[in-house]
Amino acid sequence: MQAKVSKTCLHNGIRILTKQIPHVHSVSMGVWVDAGARDETPAENGLSHLIEHMIFKGTKRRTAFQIAKEFDAIGGQSNAFTSMENTCFHGRVMDTHLATMVDIFCDIFLNSTFDDAELERERPIILQEIGMVEDSPEEFIHVLLGKAYWGNHPLGQSVLGTRENLLLFDSAMIKDFFRRFYQPGRIVISAAGNLNHDQFLDLAAPAFEAVAPGPDLPCRLPPNGQKQQHISVRDLEQVHIGLATRGLSVSDPRRYACSLMNTILGGNMSSRLFQEIRELRGLAYSVYSFISPQVGGGMFGAYAGVEPGRVGETVDLILQEMRKLKISPVTTDELRDAKEYTKGQILLSAESVENQMARLAQNEMHMGRYVPVEEIVGEIEAVTQEDISSLACELFHTDPLSLALLGPVAAEFDFNPLLVL
């Protein structure tokens, strides 16, 4: 039986979407909020992530232990994440336990107490999380690169926030931020798996229809990248390199061409960066390119971790490969292989109910509709060599072009002459 996608918009503006997949025995559900680190002022930075933690720490009906115990008792999985623009609370259970999962999510989302005593217990956990990221150079370099490229724009903030902010946050601040941003127009509830749309509505709609609209929300500032260097000297074995230039917004129609260009440049083991920098020259164990699309703009970047004495050489090689994409078309074989790789990744991920649940919500928030896999595959097939060359010429420019370095960097080395696209 073909999977069926259904959508209902409640009277207050909350959207509920389901995808019925009859051949599975589980259901994945997510409560998505179109709010994240990008929506925080500098003094609020970290509040979205703190809410992600605190929403599991007790309601008027359940303690934090009871929430955890009830999920465990049905063999369920629950989690949450915060990004620059979204916060999501999600879980997965056997289809026979759907009603219990919906009840728990309705309760924690609508009735969390954000108790000060629980906050004091959770505060050191998040401080540890911040420390874990800082102790992982390959992860922390992306935080530094975001600060370098986005500068003072909210996208340059860390999703985790700062230690200083975290120590100042209290229950009243959490509740105020929650009330301002967790509004019906920003909430999407999605579910995928062996479920019926009308039955899911009967479970979720009565509780979520009670959410009242809040005050007008501030508009998100349009992002503009900057040409900056951020060098953080640290006693490490490697220097971790991050390069960033202009990318596309999450809804740009050329996103398929951008995805293929990323795959060809550094998206897999047969990519140009992997072959040139790792396989042919042995400069790096880990090297790749990446795309970071946001609403209204994005970032295209590359990463490598190398010996301290090979930093300049590696930066130059990355930029050389980016320039090549501007100067000459990718080969027919490269484009064909990139298309097959990308289609394979999409189709394999479609076998996961969690991924299907996430795609429902993300399509709704960014496109305003469900985008079938068949349509995505067709768009990928339609990308030409000229599309990629044209996009590379548009995106890859010296201004903006930012560099972030983390590790034992030679203080006297001048990277400015290299940073030319």
Mean pLDDT, range 134-142, rounded to an integer: 97
pLDDT at 412: 66
Model confidence pLDDT, tens digit, residues 108-117:
999 999 999 9
Q: For residue 16, which of 195, 210, 184, 188 has the smallest C-alpha distance?
A: 188
The DSSP line for 347-403 is: HHHTT-HHHHHHHHHHHHHHHSS---HHHHHHHHHH--HHHHHHHHHHH--SSSEEE
- Could you write out the DSSP letters of every residue in 102-154? HHHHHHHHHHB---HHHHHHHHHHHHHHHHHHHT-HHHHHHHHHHHHHHTTSG
> Does the domain formed by 229-418 have CATH 3.30.830.10?
yes
Answer whether 240's CB lies under 8 Å from 55's CB.
no
Residue range(s) occupied by CATH 3.30.830.10 in the chain: 4-208, 229-418
Q: Residue 88: beta bridge partners?
A: 32, 81
Instruction: Give this prediction's pTM.
Output: 0.94
* 390 exposure class (CB count in 10 Å sphere: 0-12, 13-18, 19+): middle
Q: What is the pLDDT of residues 118-130, one digit of tens each?
A: 999 999 999 999 9
Tell me: pLDDT of 413 over 90: no
Q: What whole-number distance in Å separates Cα of residue 256 and Cα of residue 253?
A: 7
Q: Angle at CA 78, nearest 5°, toward 62 and 186? A: 85
Phi, psi of 30 (to 5 degrees): -140, 140
Is the Cβ–Cβ distance between 205 and 264 less than 8 Å? no
Pairing status of strand 26-33 against strand 187-193: antiparallel
pLDDT, tens digit, 9 for 90 and up, residues 246-272: 999 999 999 999 999 999 999 999 999
CA separation, residue 245 to residues 41, 150, 294, 302 (Å): 24, 10, 14, 9
Question: Which CATH topology does 4-208 take?
Answer: Cytochrome Bc1 Complex; Chain A, domain 1 (3.30.830)
| Residue 416, SS3 per DSSP | helix
Catalytic residues: 52
Cα three-residue angle 146-355-362, rounded to 5 degrees: 55
CA distance 225 to 246: 7
First-to-last CA distance in the chain? 51
What is the model's pLDDT at position 214?
81
Distance CA 271, CA 262 (A): 9
In whole angstroms, what is the distance from residue 412 CA to residue 305 CA?
20
